[in-house]
A and B are shown apart, each in its own frame.
Chain A
Amino acid sequence: MARGLRFLVLILSVASICDAATFNPISDSHRSAALELFTPTDGSLKSLEETFEALRTFEVLGIDKKSEIKGYTCPTVVDTLWSPSSALKDLFQALRVNGVLKCELNDEVFAGIASRLKDNVKDANSLLDLHYSIGSLKLIKGQTAEVDVHLEDADGIFRAIKALSQSDGRWRFSSNNPESSTYAAGIALETLAGVVALASHDIDQSLMDTLKQDILKLFDGIERYDDGSCYFDEKLVDAQGNWGPVSASSSIVRGLTSFATSTPESLNLPGDRVLCLAKFFLGIGVPGNFKDLYHQIDALASLENNRQVISIPLILSLPSSVLSVTRKDQLKVRVNTVLGSAVPPLSVKLMQIFTSGSKDASIIDQELKFDPETKLHVLDALPENVDVGKYIFTFEILLHDPEHKKIYATGGRTKVSVYVTGVVNIDQAEIAILDSDLGNVETKKRLDLTGENTIALSANHLQKLRLTFQLTTPFGRAFKPHQAFLRLRHENGVEHIFLVRSSGKNFEITLDFLGLVEKFFYLSGGYDIQLTVGDSVMENSFLQPLGYLDLDLPDAPEKAARPPPQPVDFSSKYGPRAEITHIFRSPDKRPPTELSFAFLGLVLLPLGGFLIGLLLLRVNLRNFPSSTLPAFFAISFHIGIAAVLSLYVVFWLKLDLFTTLKALGILGISLMFTGHRTLSHLASTSAKLKSA
């Protein structure tokens, strides 16, 4: 937390130059944010505390939602106040809500609560308990005159609270809690203000004096930002992380204003402290959570409506800090209170104008005209020496009534950074290719930097490229833009940027390609030429493609640096890939079936020839055995051969080798047996014939 709100510094410091920052008073964006953040969920707000915060914020911002909230909140308030067992905090919140809503309650309730609270005050030992009790009593005092709420032992209570204060002006929440908190200091001050208001007699003056010292010590510990705002930091964080600088500062402001209002004496707080706190709350902008919004709005409201016990801050703001010379914008200044309400008669003076970035100031001391209709202070024409550029204007607020000087804090001089913009004239633009050694102009083309240019140039490494142009402000002075780039982009995406430098109005850049070959990675080929000129005060900033340069550079030596890799297009990585289909092996070439059948016929022919031959030979079967047994064996033998041959056919048709071999084995054995018998019979027959 110690480094809290650094982000805020960041926003503010980025938006500002030096310590010139603009703070705008509360506006409609706060109103719409409030309505958005305090929307009741399921018909009612979460707690009485939240309801009060919402009511308070709406009240300050001037949003009328009271009657709407009253409907569903009053029953809860009445319940809480009637119930004897309500916690102190709830009673306090209920009374706070009742203070705004004015629910129907009788004095009897208040009397009951008051006596209970008084008892509580006597034996309370924590700051919050005292805060709730005394706060409640004070609220009862405000809501009814009938109940006696005066504290008898005001000095004692005052001392009890004072006992919790620390040497640095901060407070502890209770005597057995050693950690001190800034938030608690605000609570304590508010409580003490309550004690003073409820006391039946005046508080001891010495006590008041020491308290004032404490307050001043507290302000010594204030933290400051560069932009002139300051805040109270909070070291202690509660379990929900709710206490930050906003709530701490807000609590202090609330405590301070209520304490200051309750005593007749002045606190003598310097006005600039009040102003810088106000700037802090305005610098937050529109907070996104409703606690912060409440703290912001409540603190600003306390600062504004403090019955003039501490100075009321006045905020000077510019509706527009970007002024265009071409549109002849007038310098307008608005002075408001923090909540954006009207201010006493005053005038605004433009004191000094600093040129940004330099210390010299021109002293103007010119009063701005007040326009009662728009409530703006207007400077008719910008001072003559203000050309386009960045400036810091110093304003001073002069209150017409000298009495008001004590009431309002104007913070002396206010610095505001202003941008004066205009159209810059561009003239005499020329692009030329020069010969390196003599500087002779090879080709020269005029350019129109406000229109389109398509120039085609070609050069080699012994030549130079020269670009010249002039920039002048609308008032005819030299203008130096922040951005003046010449960009050469090679076809493959490698880009080179050169700053175009100026002397007076003239801008000139000469690219000597001989010295640049290394930088260009020896990449020959087409380069696109682009010129970019821009500045925050130049209304016609531009990016102009000038044309095309065909550059002929020598070949890269082996050790030359490679051009940096260019980012690849991710579509190649993420797109679908080309489909792949497998190319199957093509089947072997086959002759046409007719040919096969023709050959089949040819192959079968010899068998026919064989059969015809047999017939011609007049073959007979006379040798076939005539007796029964040999005939049987002979028939079996031939059936066997036929079976083996058929087996081969079946093997060809469907059988596998193993089945075939098995069958062949069985057939073979019988074939061998029958064959042996048949052949031996035939042999014996022919032997008999021979011997016969």
Chain B
Amino acid sequence: MRNLKLFQLSLIFFSSIPLLPILTLAFSAENPTDRRILVLLDDVSLKSSHSIFFSSLQSRGFDLDFKLADDPKLTLQRYGQYLYDGLILFAPTTERFGGSLDLAAVLSFVDSGHDVIVAADSNASDLIRNIAAECGADFDEDPSAVVIDHTSYAVSDTEGDHTLIVSDELIQSDVILGKEKIEAPILFKGIGHSLNPENNLVLKVLSASSTAYSANPNSKLSTPPSLSGSAISLVSVLQARNNARVLISGSLELFSNRLLRAGVQRAGHSKKFDKSGNERFVVEVSKWVFHERGHLKAVNVRHHKVGESDEPAIYRINDDLEYFVEIYEWSGTQWEPYVANDVQVQFYMMSPYVLKTLSTNEKGLYHTSFKVPDVYGVFQFKIEYQRLGYTSLSLSKQIPVRPFRHNEYERFITTAFPYYGASFSTMLGFFIFSIVYLYSK
């Protein structure tokens, strides 16, 4: 009897699962933070060994769905709709995902504007390497290689092979790493990657020190290491053109409770930090990846002639105009005014004729005024705002510009007065002459 009841209950529960995504708050343009995140693990124990990272996500309102990477029911979309807003791939050794998920599915997930965190580790599978390579990060091809640093390693009583390295060479970006500086160095244990120099969307967030190299610590080197020095990227991020964000880490342990809780002392330094910078780092970076920060929107684009308030359909050359735009940044919960002094507007026809920095009232409103160039044609107001870590803003609004009308040219030019004088004096002379000629005797 009880079993039957249980069965009924579970039936109701499972049949309501497909409804859940509809009920939960979903990713949208107005609310760009991700909500539903699929976490793929190659091992259930990761859930507990990385629980601090996961619980920080959950406490920020994310709905984590933990699945094993080889779960045969794995899928990212159903009926053409994505079931998740983000994907965390903590399955470095998985050669094949279960279900319908594969490399192409992950890439099209990113192509449709969703965010991914990929963590690799030594012995990372080709699948994970390929996902990273598609994002412009090439992991060291030697499967047994890890990043070693004999100068900048964490002092430890138990690990003497210098593969637990410390780095504080972080990207200088408040938007990716938060406004507060991460004081404690970051512990890293894993593999390194290099960034494809032709891919200018991918950025090094955490790089190794100049003494680091990527090699197998247990065998002698016979050839120079393929990756060495500060060219090694430990953690990289990619922001695609569609503002999808991808984090690529060469270490899964970077996110683990062990390294989040560990104290850290860099070799050769006497200062000992009670806690490594890892927790701050992974939390801040995940905030960025899941669009809790650095997501901009531009609204209320307006322009008009100085002294008027209505938007004209056309401008005349040499008009003075004013341009307004409001830019807001998503803070994770609400839109807040975005304050910057480098937003620029272009008045553009084939190439920018005017490029001007907008001034802000610090409440999100940006404004500038300029004179329409003396070239007529179809122009655009263009804002191409690309800043490190922020989503790119690309606005354009078309506006034609006409030349002067015939009656808008300058009249009564002083220089022409002799000509006018000549004409009128001739006319007056003609008038007098006509009278004199006709009636004089």
Contacts and interface: CB of A to CB of B under 8 A. Distances in A.
B386 A289 contact: no
Given A244-B45, A482-B215, A603 B418 contact: yes
Nearest to B390: A574
Nearest to B157: A320
B213 A485 contact: yes
A14 B146 contact: yes
A638 B436 CA distance: 11
A480 B436 CA distance: 124
Sort chain B's interface into a size bin.
35 or more
B80 interface: no
A541 B151 contact: yes
Nearest to A578: B355
B421 A603 contact: yes
Interface in A527-549: 532, 534-538, 541-543
Contact of A8 (B43, B66, B198, B413): B43
A22 B415 contact: no
Contact of A482 (B121, B220, B426): B220
A628 interface: no
B150 A483 contact: yes
Interface stretch (A38-46, A143-151, A645-653): A645-653
A579 B355 contact: yes
Contact of A483 (B213, B427, B438): B213
A6 to B, nearest CB: 5
Contacts of B149: 534
What DSSP secondary structure best describes chain A's contact surface?
Answer: mixed
Contacts of B195: 567
Given A582-B353, A604-B425, A652 B420 contact: yes
Contacts of B68: 1
B418 A536 contact: no
B200 A573 contact: yes
Nearest to A587: B410
Contacts of A634: 438-439
B162 interface: yes
Contacts of B224: 485, 497-499
Given A10-B121, A570-B388, A614-B432, A288 B48 contact: yes
Given A483-B150, A535-B150, A596 B438 contact: no
A483 B212 CA distance: 10
Interface string B135-162: 0000000000010111100001111111
Contacts of B121: 7, 10
Contacts of A566: 197
Contact of B252 (A7, A482, A487, A590): A7
Interface string A604-644: 10110011001000011111100000000010001001100
A565 B346 CA distance: 31
B421 A600 contact: yes
B389 to A, nearest CB: 9
Given A7-B42, A603-B425, A638 B211 contact: no
B239 to A, nearest CB: 11
A581 B45 contact: no
A372 interface: no
Contacts of B327: none
A3 B70 contact: yes
B424 A649 contact: yes
Contact of B198 (A356, A565, A590, A621): A565
Contact of B431 (A22, A642, A679): A642
Contacts of B222: 499
Contacts of A337: none
A596 B93 contact: no
Contacts of B427: 645, 648
Interface residues of A, number: 111
Nearest to A618: B440
Interface stretch (A204-212, A279-287, A459-467, A552-560): A279-287
A284 B50 CA distance: 12
Interface in A501-547: 532, 534-538, 541-543
B61 interface: no
Interface in B387-441: 387-388, 407, 413-436, 438-441
A591 interface: yes
A320 B158 contact: yes
B93 A536 contact: no
Contacts of A245: 45
A14 B122 contact: yes
B342 A576 contact: yes
B244 to A, nearest CB: 18
A322 B421 contact: no
Interface string A290-323: 0110000000000000000000000000111110
Contact of B388 (A1, A485, A574): A574
A86 to B, nearest CB: 13
Select the residue from A4, A14, A29 with max chain B CB neighbours within 10 A.
A14
A244 B159 contact: no
A244 B44 contact: yes
B114 interface: no
B418 A599 contact: yes
Contact of A17 (B218, B347, B413): B218
Interface string B38-57: 00001111111111100000
B374 interface: yes
Contact of A582 (B146, B162, B354, B439): B354
Interface string B63-84: 0001010100000000000000
10 contacts: A3-B42, A6-B93, A7-B121, A241-B66, A318-B158, A417-B160, A495-B231, A584-B318, A604-B425, A620-B439
Given A390-B160, A390-B161, A641-B431, 5 more contacts: A7-B93, A499-B223, A579-B357, A606-B429, A607-B425
Interface of A: 1, 3-8, 10-11, 14-15, 17, 22, 29, 126, 237, 239, 241, 244-246, 284-289, 291-292, 318-322, 356-357, 390, 417-419, 421, 480, 482-483, 485, 487, 495, 497-499, 532, 534-538, 541-543, 564-568, 570-571, 573-582, 584-585, 590-591, 593, 596-597, 599-600, 602-604, 606-607, 610-611, 614, 619-624, 634, 638, 641-642, 645, 648-649, 652, 656, 678-679, 682
Name the 8 nearest CB pairs between A and B, nearest first. Answer: A288-B51, A534-B150, A419-B160, A541-B150, A320-B157, A582-B373, A576-B342, A580-B355
